[in-house]
Structure 1
Amino acid sequence: MNINTQLVSVDNTFSFEECLWFLNRNFDDCLHEIKHDYIRKALLVEGKPVLIEIKKHLNGLVVEMLSGTPAPSGETYIREYVTEWLDLDRDLQPFYKLLANHAVLGYMPEKYAGLRLIGIPDLFEALVWSIIGQQINLTFAYKIKRRLVEAYGESIRFENKLYHIFPTSKSLANTEIQDLRQMQFSGKKADYLIGLAQLFDAGLMNKTRLAKLPDLSSRQKALTDIRGIGIWTANYALMKSLKETSSIPHGDAGLLNALKAHRIIEQKTDTESISYLFSGFSGWESYLVFYLWRSLAPTENEKLHSDINSI
């Protein structure tokens, strides 16, 4: 390996292909580039843009710095970021044992073996993304996200291509509502986003502060006390950024559709059956949500089979 490359080891069941699936679901995500065997992503490392490329390796993942030369402390940050982003330290076997004993979901450990809960390490980004996605479809949400990122985020150029970084709270704290309205934010969402940015920029909310709270309910309350953040947004951010394993985004449309598809519920209002299901996955609720989301999308082989049958 050259001096700009480091190995991130993975000791437990891990599938790079499954993680690539999640990151590349035919949405226009401007924060990473996916090819069949690598991920490219730009990061702010010690205040400077750096472009990394992640590839599969026999013992885990190889992370190469394609552009930018961080100090050794920056290299440590990159390794920790990738580990957190892809949840590489998690031992999935206890979760798989619970799944294997379930009459309906028992197929999942084999079919989705090695899929990790892909996170959003930056809490501010996770909350902004949740606000953007409220009450609109994902395709439109990604379009608005791209407009925001390209207007206010930093970027780094490599091989004639621009790689974008999500805006910091400081870059959005003094934004005018009208500027966001021109990007097709609603007035309320623009107001919520600016207020959130000001809160983070003032140091009144951050990931470290939230993580120090004693339990899930206190973290939920700290987030739902912020204008524009309801319980779904709070649970989503806790699940994706703090990797809160017991966080469930109740009412999520995808989750409800997956539960109906598995005939675990007949009606989306059947909260009793939903609670009963999750009670059997204590400490793994967020992972169960993630795997149920995964079940809504066909594998590449299933897509190919479907395409052949439709000819």
Structure 2
Amino acid sequence: MNFTIPIPTNFSFQECLWFLDRNYDDCLHEVRERSVRKLLLLQGTPTLIDISEKEGSLFVSILQGNSDEKAILNFVKEWFDIQRDLTDFYQLLSKDSDLNYMVSEYNGLRLLGIPELFEALCWSIIGQQINLRFAYKLKRRFTEAFGTKLSFENSAYYAFPSCEVVSKLKVEDLLPMQFSNRKAEYLIEIAKQFVDGNISKEKLSELSTEEALKKLIQVRGIGEWTANYALMKSLKRLECITYGDVGLYNALHGLKNFPKRPSRGELESFFINFKNWEAYTVFYLWRSLAIPT
């Protein structure tokens, strides 16, 4: 089964593909020459989709699994933030003499999301205090051990472990994968919070961003950076700033000559110029750190 999604203005599938394929060995999608494949769980059914670009539209093929077109359509739109009009953001970028090159260089790059909130929180915890390459290795070990696997055309595709599965794990299950004791505890605790209904994407969606941040930070293992990252990537709260983010600081140091550890006041003075587009600004600053090969 196939269907199409019209491509809006200021959308570049190729730029999004490039960002998804930065040599980090992400086990949750496969970037091919002109498409990306992704395994979804739809009503518990593993569903493999392939997304490519064809004649001004995204062409979505359901390769195996649930043919719920509406659910897949909603996922793709959310993953690629496809319904967002970036005109205002590009106008703000164009006014900054150090960042205006991004309008042409990264034109059409979307804030690639993580629609599942549980996955977004776990991923941010996995990546705490370690480099990205090792973080992706941990995610692969974790996903291959506890996630859902589907084999198709001699390739293996994985969906992130569910909160129900992770909530039943013990710390000892994660230590051989090189998780620290504390990270293992955090992942299991957060899974239990989801299973118990204390945290859900639906509940956070009903709160203001400030209220949602406070709610998340109350959970052991979720600090300010993790909470902002998850709301930015899963709920697309564009006012979120990943305070404490080394990548953000490195980009600002290189492009704006900021101190390597800028103060909160310095960050807020910068982001005031990108009000309501803070998360996109963070994302484009991350993009600036990646050198095309």
TM-score for the superposition, normalised by structure 2: 0.97
Q: Does 1:132 align with 2:126?
A: yes
How much does 1:270 deviate?
4.0
Q: 1:148 aligns with which of 131, 137, 142?
A: 142
Q: Give the aligned partner of residue 62 of structure 2.
A: 65
Change (3 A) 1:197 1:99: same
Within-5 A mapping of 1:2-81 = 4-70=1-67, 74-81=68-75
The answer on whether the counterparts of 2:46 and 2:66 sit within 8 Å (CA) in structure 1 is: no
TM-score for the superposition, normalised by structure 1: 0.92
Q: Match of 1:167, as an amino acid?
A: P
Q: Give the aligned partner of residue 233 of structure 2.
A: 240
Q: Give the aligned partner of residue 191 of structure 1.
A: 185
Aligned Cα root-mean-square deviation (Å): 1.1
Q: 1:277 aligns with which of 266, 270, 283?
A: 270
SS of equivalent residue, structure 1 residue 251: coil
The answer on whether the counterparts of 1:10 and 1:89 sit within 8 Å (CA) in structure 2 is: no
Within-5 A mapping of 1:97-112 = 97-112=91-106
Within-5 A mapping of 1:137-286 = 137-213=131-207, 215-286=208-279
Q: Deviations over 1:79-129 (max 9, x none)?
A: 100000000000000000011111211111111100000000000000000
How much does 1:67 deviate?
1.2
Gaps of 5+ in 1: 304-311
SS of equivalent residue, structure 1 residue 248: coil
Q: In 1, distance between residues paired with 2:201 and 2:263?
A: 34
Q: Deviations over 1:33-83 (max 9, x none)?
A: 01120000110011100100000122220000111242xxx2100010000
Percent of aligned positions that are identical? 48
Q: Give the aligned partner of residue 94 of structure 1.
A: 88
Gaps of 5+ in 2: none
The answer on whether the counterparts of 2:250 and 2:260 sit within 8 Å (CA) in structure 1 is: no
Q: Give the aligned partner of residue 288 of structure 2.
A: 295
The answer on whether the counterparts of 1:278 and 1:285 sit within 8 Å (CA) in structure 2 is: yes
Higher CA-based Rg: 1
Q: In 2, distance between residues paired with 1:269 and 1:109?
A: 25
SS of equivalent residue, structure 1 residue 89: coil
The answer on whether the counterparts of 1:265 and 1:274 sit within 8 Å (CA) in structure 2 is: no
The answer on whether the counterparts of 1:14 and 1:113 sit within 8 Å (CA) in structure 2 is: yes
Q: In 2, distance between residues paired with 1:8 and 1:45?
A: 19
SS of equivalent residue, structure 1 residue 259: helix
How much does 1:220 deviate?
0.4
Q: In 1, distance between residues paired with 2:161 and 2:167?
A: 10
